Amino acid sequence: MKRFFLLGLLAVMLVTACQEAAEDPEAEQFEVVTAVAIEPEGQIQQVHDPVMTYEDGTYYVFSTGRRIPVICSPDKITWESCGRVFDRNPAWTRDINPNLVDIWAPDISYFNGRWHLYYAVSNFGTQNSAIALATNSTLNPQSPDYEWVDQGIVLRSQPGDPWNAIDANLVLDEAGEPWLIWGSFWSGLWLGKIDADTGQLDPVTANYHHIADRSAGQDGNSAIEAPFLIKRGNYWYLFASFDQCCQGVASTYNVRVGRSQSLTGPYVDRDGVPLLEGGGTLILSEYGQWKGPGHNGLFVEDGVYWIVYHAYDANQIGIPKLHIEALGWDAEGWPVLASQTQE
């Protein structure tokens, strides 16, 4: 009964209205949307760095873990295991981390007739990292066409490089052309053009763009990672996680956002502070029993911007669990979350 009540509530609360900017008739007007949180159940424990998509009646969430775990659901409420991407870690990963256990931060996207799963292999706290790619024609493990094919390394980083090659997110620009954003700590977040045919960084037009750098801010803190880009209206929105993950109830993760009218930036926060100068408007931080919420993914469905993220359950020894909310949007065009009204 609970699930039907929640979905009914969502349908009612997602009715939107345009706000009149009477005091400034030339000011840009934004569609105001009410934020809603739903309560996923089932196989939602030990979900870290989630990303969600949909194919043929089923929602899929990919997350950090051994050989990349996958859970699936018909309704975003009840989730069950749907296997793992790899039967064994790709052989090349041993060159980066011979003791590799978990594959990190998968990102799922569809372009050029195939699903593209970008993922990261690394050593914790170092730049000895790589972003790689696996492709598939379907996400349905019951399909005879289901087969993940590893395409190898897309981007490598080593000590001394300007970036750390983890936490990738694939985004399609207004022309449907693919770009990849990535980064963690060091000099922050970077964006490059992807060759649509190969899924690799385009050797001619990659044109790396520096997008966000927290270390350039007043506090000199370099803790920014897990970028995710979406387009809404005239703006591109960049979501990123600040501070520390992966410490259970001691985690201090939180999610910040900036926006730009150009995919390649510059991005600024609500106060006009550039993200290249440490800016970022706080939209998600700990609430109730949930500590260190962050490393979000976003999935747009019928005009609704669904955000998925992990948070550590203080009532269950800090186990990371899946959270799902429908973003709200305020009269100035900035995202808001229903969870942030909880004590």
- How does pLDDT run along the chain (343 residues), one tens digit per residue? 444 334 444 444 444 433 333 334 446 789 999 999 999 999 999 999 999 999 999 999 999 999 999 999 999 999 999 999 999 999 999 999 999 999 999 999 999 999 999 999 999 889 999 999 999 999 999 999 999 999 999 999 999 999 999 999 999 999 999 999 999 999 999 999 999 999 999 877 668 999 999 998 888 899 999 999 999 999 999 999 999 999 999 999 999 999 999 999 999 999 999 999 999 999 999 999 999 999 999 999 999 999 999 999 999 999 999 999 999 999 999 999 999 986 5
Q: 69 and 81 in contact (C-beta within 8 Å)?
A: yes
From the candidates 49, 107, 213, 269, give the one annotated as an active-site residue.
49
pLDDT at 21: 37
From 2.115.10.20, 3.30.565.10, 1.10.10.10, 1.20.1250.20, which CATH number describes the 37-330 domain?
A: 2.115.10.20
Active site residue 145: no
Active site residue 225: yes
Domain segments of the chain: what residues?
A: 37-330
User: What CA–CA distances, in Å, run from 86 to 22, 103, 136, 147, 278?
Assistant: 56, 10, 12, 9, 37
From the candidates 102, 202, 225, 313, give the one annotated as an active-site residue.
225
pLDDT at 24: 45
pLDDT at 207: 83
pLDDT at 202: 83
pTM for this one? 0.92
pLDDT at 217: 86
pLDDT at 343: 58
Other C-beta atoms closer than 10 Å to the C-beta of 261 total: 11
pLDDT at 98: 94
